[in-house]
Amino acid sequence: MLQVRVEHQFDGRVEAGAPQPERSLAPEEVLSNLRYFTEERRGPRTSPCTRLVLSGQGVLKRADVPAAIRSAREWGVDWVTLHVGGGDIEFFDVDAWKGLVDAVVVPVEGTGAALQGTEALMAAAGAAGIRVISNLQLGPERLSDLGAVLDVLVRVRPHSAVFTHPFPRGEKDDRALASLDRVMDALVSAQRVLQEAEIAWNVKGLPVCWLTGLGVESGRSSNRWYVDASHQKENALLFFPDVVRMSKTEPCRFCARNLECDGFFEQWLARGGYPSLEPIGD
């Protein structure tokens, strides 16, 4: 998989520790990197990327992106996901992107007009046959919006709903986090609503052993190449471990669901307030 951060600004994204690029990619750089990770990786020791993620606030307004996607399709990409930033909602033209992208990932947050715009985008994309994936970050400032967000999800019925615990933004990230008890209470509330509505959901950024009993989908995150203006072609980053570093403890080796779990962040564990990671039996 290949993720290209086309634009340097990206409000509403899941901050996973990726460095902030100083500028956006130029159109010729987008194409050059797409070719590098597709056509130029066809060989005995490398394999081409067939799944593409495009991100960065303003990607919807760039005239070069649709043509770049068509080129990527010609070079073997068979699935394109578009990460929509908070500032992109009003610019999403379903007719322009229908047939170009297979899925959109949409941040759901806030209340009032902002959330109404998000709901309209997700409804229009779903009606056009584009797979809709919602994402709510489990930070303290977002958990208070949970009720309103769940109401929207029930009405829109996305393909799946993702709930993401905050990832560290670097080694000196000292921001306030919601307590694990508050996060788990929110997930229990989400479980009741989403299961009744038969909406698939999953949680990222928390170990599987803490989610036992929620009936939530789990699965190890797939790795990907990460490209931005500062990390192109052979200098691209691997999402794990260059961008995100999650770890496990020694007992995790004996967990029946070890292969389904990413682990957790040592940085958050060091703060206290979190239980130890415990293996799940067969």
Please check whether residue 274 lies inside any domain of the structure: no
Query: With the C-alpha atoms ordered 50, 14, 273, 184, is the resulting torsion angle positive or negative?
Result: negative
Residue 250: which CATH number? 3.20.20.70
CA 59, distance to chain mean position in Å, is 16
CB contact at 8 A, 57 and 25 = no
Count of CB atoms situated within 10 Å of the CB of 266:
13
- DSSP secondary-structure letter at 154? H
- DSSP secondary-structure letter at 5? E
Please check whether residue 278 lies inside any domain of the structure: no
The burial of 177, by beta-carbon neighbours within 10 Å (0-12 exposed, 13-18 middle, 19 or more buried), is given as middle
Kindly report the pTM of this predicted structure: 0.90
CA-based nearest residue to 168, from 277, 18, 16: 16
Residue that the structure tokens 């239980």 belong to? 275
- The H or E element that residue 201 is part of is strand 200-204
- Which residue has better confidence, 165 or 240? 165
Residues of the chain above pLDDT 70, percent: 95
The yes-or-no verdict on residue 18 having pLDDT over 80 is no
The encoded tokens of residue 87 equal: 């500032």
Please check whether residue 224 lies inside any domain of the structure: yes
Please check whether residue 229 lies inside any domain of the structure: yes
- Which residue has better confidence, 16 or 248? 248
Query: How far apart, in whole angstroms, are the C-alpha atoms of residue 114 and residue 227?
Result: 30
Residue 87 pLDDT: 78
Q: Helices 65-74 & 27-36, crossing angle to 10 degrees?
A: 20
For residue 185, give its domain range: 2-269
- What average pLDDT does the chain have? 90
Please check whether residue 121 lies inside any domain of the structure: yes
How many structural domains comprise the chain?
1
- DSSP secondary-structure letter at 281? P
Beta-bridge partner residues of 164: 137, 204
The yes-or-no verdict on residue 219 having pLDDT over 80 is no
Please check whether residue 281 lies inside any domain of the structure: no
Please check whether residue 11 lies inside any domain of the structure: yes
The yes-or-no verdict on residue 93 having pLDDT over 80 is yes
Q: What is the mean pLDDT of residues 118-130?
A: 95
- pLDDT band for position 100 (cuts 50, 70, 90): very high
The encoded tokens of residue 78 equal: 């068979």
Residue 16 pLDDT: 54
Q: Which residues of 194-205 are buried (b: 16+ CB within 10 A; e: fewer)?
A: beeeebebebbb
Q: What is the mean pLDDT of residues 240-264?
A: 89
